[in-house]
């Protein structure tokens, strides 16, 4: 197992090292908590920020493994700016994107270049902690559910992936809340929240749960807010152990749909419909969500 972990780390280092245009040396530092290791790769200009990311990783590792363990070391690559991040993850025009996680790697825009309220002094440590926990939760989920070659083939829907990470990092305050999501379903044609189109015309589906790709780039707050609420709905109804069973079933070789039905007791489509009814019919009114 130790040899496998070292081999995984070597492969990750080879595949995700920062491309320093000026030929600057790439530095690396590790942090280990229990059996889980995170390595941060960075350029000299980001040395201070890399240490803050390492501190965030040390704090995040126990919580990130809430539903599954990190078996392979995770390599975090600090990219010097947003353009470098987009190039690394092959996503263009996602101005809001700050990080991207895979099975055992995280591409992270250096906090030094995050824009917004922190543009003069950089973000607070709590902001870095939150993002690192979110991304490490992704890695833990992929590693619990699959192998290094099969993780992207499990057909895990975006609402589950992002909902788990957002819920675990307590990011509800960042996204559209349940009332706003309810309004979205009611107001957007084809969102699944209203009646059919006039004249029997077929509508384009705009559903942040079922078809988030259509609005992922332009309406990310709706997509992430819906994902967070759906995963919270899942955990509060069925519990952490059901989520662990689901990931464990995928780890045995099954796809998400069959694993979800085995662990939860109903297919994903039925759960999604149940969640939409909860939102559209105001099941949350008067509650704590």
Is the pLDDT at 81 greater than 50? The verdict is yes
The burial class, CB within 10 Å (0-12 / 13-18 / 19+), for 122 is middle
- pLDDT higher than 80, residue 115: no
User: Which residues make Cβ contacts (< 8 Å) with residue 287, sequence separation at least 6?
Assistant: none
Phi first, then psi, for residue 205 (nearest 5°) are -75, 125
* Ordered structural domains, the chain, with CATH: 2-153 (3.30.2010.30), 158-280 (no CATH)
CA max distance for the chain: 64
pLDDT, tens digit (0-9, with 9 covering 90-100), for 158-210: 999 999 999 999 998 887 777 778 777 776 655 555 433 333 333 446 788 88
Per-residue pLDDT tens over the stretch 15-70: 455 544 444 568 999 999 999 999 999 999 999 999 999 999 999 999 999 999 99
Instruction: Return d(Cα 162, Cα 215) in angstroms, integer.
Output: 15
Share the mean pLDDT of the chain.
84
Q: Would you give the DSSP letter of residue 42?
A: E
C-beta separation of 169 from 130 below 8 A = yes
What's the CA gap between 22 and 120, in Å, rounded?
25
Q: In this predicted structure, what is the pLDDT of residue 185?
A: 77
pTM of the predicted protein model: 0.84
CB contact at 8 A, 103 and 142: yes
How many angstroms separate the Cα of 208 from the Cα of each of 11, 88, 193, 279? 35, 26, 11, 13
- How many CB atoms are located within 10 Å of the residue 266 CB? 12
Q: Which two tokens stand for residue 20?
A: 């320093």
> Which residues on adjacent β-strands are paired with residue 100?
107
């Amino acid at each position: 197992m130790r040899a496998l972990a070292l081999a995984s780390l070597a492969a990750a280092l080879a595949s995700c090292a920062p491309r320093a245009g000026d030929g600057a040396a790439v530095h690396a530092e590790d942090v280990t908590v229990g059996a889980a290791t995170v390595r941060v790769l960075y350029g000299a200009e980001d040395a201070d920020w890399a240490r803050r990311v390492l501190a965030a990783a040390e704090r995040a590792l126990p919580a990130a493994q809430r539903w599954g363990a990190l078996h392979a070391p995770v390599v975090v690559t600090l990219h010097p700016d947003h353009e470098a991040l987009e190039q690394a993850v092959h996503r263009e025009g996602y101005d809001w994107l700050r990080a991207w996680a895979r099975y055992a790697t995280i591409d992270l825009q250096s906090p030094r270049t995050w824009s917004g309220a922190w543009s003069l002094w950089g973000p607070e440590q709590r902001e870095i902690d939150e993002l690192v926990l979110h991304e490490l939760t992704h890695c833990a989920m992929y590693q619990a559910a699959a192998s290094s070659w099969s993780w992207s083939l499990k057909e895990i829907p975006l609402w589950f992936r992002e909902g788990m990470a957002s819920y675990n990092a307590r990011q509800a305050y960042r996204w559209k809340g349940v009332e706003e999501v309810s309004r979205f379903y009611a107001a957007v044609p084809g969102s699944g929240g209203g009646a059919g189109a006039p004249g029997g015309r077929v509508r384009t589906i705009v559903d942040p749960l079922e078809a988030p790709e259509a609005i992922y780039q332009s309406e990310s707050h709706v997509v992430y807010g819906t994902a967070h609420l759906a995963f919270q709905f899942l955990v509060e109804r069925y519990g952490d152990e059901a989520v662990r069973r689901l990931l464990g079933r995928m780890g045995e070789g099954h796809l998400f749909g069959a694993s979800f039905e085995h662990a939860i007791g109903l297919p994903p489509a039925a759960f999604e419909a149940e969640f939409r009814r909860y939102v559209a019919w105001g099941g949350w009114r008067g509650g704590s969500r």
